[in-house]
Amino acid sequence: MTYDFVSCGYLLKMELFLTDATEPNQVTVLGYFWDDGVNDWYVYFKSEETYDEFGDRILYIDYAWNSEIEEWILSEKIFEYYNTAITTEVINETSTPVALYPNPTNSYLYISGTNWPIEIRLFSIHGIEIMKEKIWCNPLNISDVPQAVYILIISKNEKLLLNKKIIKK
């Protein structure tokens, strides 16, 4: 087991890399965030990776935690051939839809039902792009955006996850 700590804004993130001696070409990665409210770590993603005899990754499976049914669900599956992706399965087909809250908001939006990182684009109701960012963790800070109605588009790997009207109070 190895681990890596990463700072994500004011949040602390830890990733555990688990291997099994009986399956040396497989690695399970668990991602955790520190929750100051309960003074403990909580898991936010899980992935499984398989490597060939040359050390090239040939399979990547990503899971998202569904808190409603309390189990991991398939989020993404990528088959690779010598580091070149050749097929990808649909993201979020069986998972809980991406959710955004609170809406309306004064400053912060929280996003659930997806794995990080994600790409966000915020548009005025006139179609003018106000913000475009790749974000790695909650929350999305829109405190500097004027009060108005906006369209928020959330995507991952160029796949649309959410297109929603939001209200900035």
Residue 94 has pLDDT above 50, yes or no: no
pLDDT at res. 90: 44
Task: Identify the burial level of 34 via C-beta atoms within 10 angstroms of its C-beta, where 0-12 means exposed, 13-18 middle and 19 or more buried.
Answer: middle
Query: 76 and 31 in one domain?
Result: yes
93 within domain boundaries: no
CB 83 within 8 A of CB 56: yes
Give the model confidence (pLDDT) of 9-68 as tens digits: 555 677 777 887 777 788 888 877 777 777 887 777 788 888 777 677 778 888 877 777
Query: What integer pLDDT is reported at residue 146 of this predicted model?
Result: 93
Instruction: Please check whether residues 22 and 41 belong to one and the same domain.
Output: yes
74 in the same domain as 18: yes
- Per the CB < 8 A criterion, the answer to whether 150 and 168 are in contact is yes
pTM higher than 0.95: no
How many domains, in total, are found in the chain? Answer: 2
Provide the pLDDT for residue 8: 55
Q: Does the pLDDT value for residue 156 go beyond 70?
A: yes
We report the CATH number of the domain holding residue 142 as 2.60.40.10
CA distance 19 to 26: 6
Note the maximum CA span of the chain. 58
Residue 86 has pLDDT above 70, yes or no: no
Q: How many other C-beta atoms lie within 10 A of the C-beta of residue 27? A: 17
Give the structural domain span for 162. 99-168
Note the pLDDT of residue 147. Answer: 92
- Mean pLDDT, residues 105-116 taken together: 85
Do 7 and 50 have their domain in common?
yes
- Say which residue, 32 or 106, is predicted with more confidence: 106
